[in-house]
């Protein structure tokens, strides 16, 4: 999977969110355009809201009359040049007012032929909005007159925002959130079979014996894809097994004539030609061994319940390679951190991986070599040679890859074999130049109790 890829459920949910946002913005633009192009409709909303506020602030006075309470008068006290009102009683007698000089005299005259009205009067380059509305108890026969000569309190903007909230935020936003939540849940549940299929396919390894059974998704298209993947894996496993078998058979077939040739070389008289033949024979023998080991590395299958004691494996490998190190003039040391855990793994395969690392250290670096078991589920090999070559250390684990100073006694398969064995154990193999000189290779495993 690419590092920058995202789950399909997240992608679909994100796209639904963008669609919902687009719908929300479209509604916002439509309402803004409607009220922005119809100023009179917005003024009607302002008058309606202001009349409601003032009617709610209507209080009865001690003398039996009525007046507008302090909470509803704040606007008029803050902007005496822009807003005014008058509360008229029976026969249009004034009971209360604020900034009454702003109100045209005609608006205070008897206007009972219409209970509610709004007028827009020219005032030079601007416009004066005057409105009348019956308020209070019917028996009180009260009329409220409101006038706005300007809008320093931004009542029009507030009315527009109120309409946006009333038409979008209150009814639309909860519906969109509910829809997004329901769709996200539906998408997640619908793509569950895809995730299970991907997990199954990700766990497949050609040649593995413990392949998990194919999940049943209940979706025909996905089941067909899984079936095709299974058949392709079976074909690949068959081809890989045949290739491994041929390589192993060829390596086994070569071991007998190589042993015979080695015995005959020992019968030849010593000399430069004989020495060179022995070197060539050693190179050929190690190449055959590595081809056989490579075939085994690809056939590693961890049986259920198999345990691999890492400490004992390290002791066995060091003891077995000690004579090789002595012949090459190298020195092997084993350091063991107790306790070294057991892991679920194939002891023979892990020993093969460690053997290849130690052999590489003997042939490439020589000198003092330290094999360390632990701490935790780790095996490491450190030499005191020139260190790793320049470049990406991970490329050392490619098959047939050899460093510029590598001796001509191998085929460049040792580190590749170790890497494949580690993959079969769900572990890792790493290489680095040690801070105190030389190189260090480490096999890391998942510790299991």
Q: How many CB atoms lie within 10 A of CB 119?
A: 14
419-423, long-range: CB within 8 Å, 24+ apart, which pairs?
A: 420/294, 420/297, 420/298, 420/300, 421/297, 421/300, 421/349, 421/350, 421/352, 421/353, 422/353
Q: What is the rounded end-to-end Cα distance, in angstroms, of the chain?
A: 31
> What is the pLDDT, as a whole number, of residue 400?
56
C-alpha span between 118 and 356 (Å, rounded): 97
The CATH number, out of the four listed (3.10.50.40, 3.40.50.2300, 3.30.565.10, 3.30.300.30), of the domain defined by the range 303-444: 3.30.565.10
233 Cβ partners below 8 Å, 6+ apart?
204, 206, 211
Are 345 and 302 within 8 A, CB to CB? yes
> What is the pLDDT, as a whole number, of residue 210?
55
> What is the pLDDT, as a whole number, of residue 129?
93
One digit per residue, the tens of pLDDT, for the chain of length 449 reads 555 667 777 777 888 888 888 887 887 788 777 766 778 888 888 999 999 999 999 998 777 789 999 989 999 999 999 999 999 888 888 899 999 899 888 888 765 556 688 988 887 777 899 999 989 888 788 899 999 999 999 998 888 888 777 777 667 777 778 877 887 787 777 777 777 777 777 777 655 555 667 777 777 777 777 788 778 777 776 776 666 666 666 666 666 676 677 777 777 787 777 777 777 777 676 666 666 666 666 666 677 778 889 899 999 999 999 988 888 889 999 998 888 888 888 888 888 889 889 988 888 888 899 999 988 889 999 998 888 887 767 777 776 555 555 554 555 677 888 888 888 888 888 988 888 888 999 999 876 54
C-alpha span between 207 and 67 (Å, rounded): 94
> What is the pLDDT, as a whole number, of residue 449?
46
Domain locations in the chain? Answer: 1-37+154-190, 58-152, 200-299, 303-444
Name the residue among 236, 230, 224 with its Cα closest to residue 212. Answer: 230
Bridge-partner residues for 135, per DSSP? 142
C-alpha span between 334 and 317 (Å, rounded): 10
> Please, how many CA atoms are within 13 Å of residue 331, restricted to the half-sphere of its CB?
4
C-alpha span between 264 and 376 (Å, rounded): 48
CB burial of 87-110 (b: ≥16 within 10 Å; e: otherwise) equals bbbeebeebbbbbeebbeeebbee
Instruction: Describe the crossing of helices 155-164 and 39-56 by its angle, rounded to 10 degrees.
Output: 100
Are 142 and 154 within 8 A, CB to CB? no
Are 343 and 446 within 8 A, CB to CB? yes
Q: How many CB atoms lie within 10 A of CB 242?
A: 10
Kindly report the CATH class assigned to 58-152.
alpha beta
269 Cβ partners below 8 Å, 6+ apart?
none
- Same topology for domains 58-152 and 303-444, yes or no? no
């Amino acid at each position: 999977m690419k590092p920058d890829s995202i789950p399909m459920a997240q992608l679909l949910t994100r796209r639904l969110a963008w669609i919902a946002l687009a719908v929300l913005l479209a509604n916002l633009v439509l309402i803004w355009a409607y009220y922005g192009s119809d100023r009179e409709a917005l003024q009607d909303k302002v008058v309606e809201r202001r009349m409601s506020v003032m009617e709610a602030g209507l209080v009865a006075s001690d003398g039996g009359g009525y007046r507008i309470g302090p909470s509803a008068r704040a606007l008029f006290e803050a902007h005496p040049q822009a807003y005014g009102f008058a509360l008229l009683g029976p026969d249009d007698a004034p009971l209360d007012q604020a900034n009454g000089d702003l109100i045209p005299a005609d608006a205070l005259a008897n206007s009972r032929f219409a209970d509610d009205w709004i007028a827009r009067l020219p005032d030079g380059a601007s416009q004066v909005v005057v409105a009348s509305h019956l308020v209070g108890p019917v028996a009180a026969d009260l009329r409220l007159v409101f006038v706005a000569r300007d809008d320093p309190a931004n009542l029009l903007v507030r009315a527009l925002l109120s309409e946006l909230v009333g038409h979008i935020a209150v009814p639309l936003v909860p519906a969109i959130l509910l829809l997004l939540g329901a769709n996200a849940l539906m998408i997640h549940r619908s793509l569950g079979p895809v995730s299970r299929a991907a997990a199954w396919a990700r766990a497949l390894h050609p040649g593995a014996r413990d392949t998990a059974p194919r999940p049943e998704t209940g979706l025909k298209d996905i089941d067909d894809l899984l079936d095709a993947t299974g058949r392709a894996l079976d074909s690949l496993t068959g081809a890989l097994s045949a290739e491994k078998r041929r390589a192993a058979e060829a390596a086994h077939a070569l071991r007998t004539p190589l042993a015979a040739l080695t015995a005959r070389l020992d019968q030849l008289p010593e000399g430069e030609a004989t020495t060179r033949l022995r070197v060539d024979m050693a190179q050929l023998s190690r190449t055959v061994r590595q081809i056989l080991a490579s075939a085994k590395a690809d056939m590693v299958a961890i049986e259920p319940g198999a345990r691999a004691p890492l400490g004992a494996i390290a002791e066995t490998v060091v003891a077995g390679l000690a004579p090789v190190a002595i012949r090459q003039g190298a020195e092997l040391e084993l350091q063991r951190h107790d306790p070294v855990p057991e892991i679920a793994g194939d002891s023979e395969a892990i020993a093969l991986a460690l053997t290849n690392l130690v052999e590489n250290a003997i042939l490439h670096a020589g000198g003092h070599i330290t094999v360390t078991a632990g701490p935790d589920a780790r095996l490491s090999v450190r030499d005191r040679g020139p260190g790793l070559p320049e470049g990406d250390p991970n490329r050392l684990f490619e098959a047939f890859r050899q460093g510029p100073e590598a001796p001509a006694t191998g085929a460049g398969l040792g580190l590749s074999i170790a890497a494949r064995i580690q993959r079969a154990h769900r572990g890792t193999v790493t290489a680095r130049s040690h801070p105190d000189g030389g190189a260090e290779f480490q096999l890391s495993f998942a510790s299991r109790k």
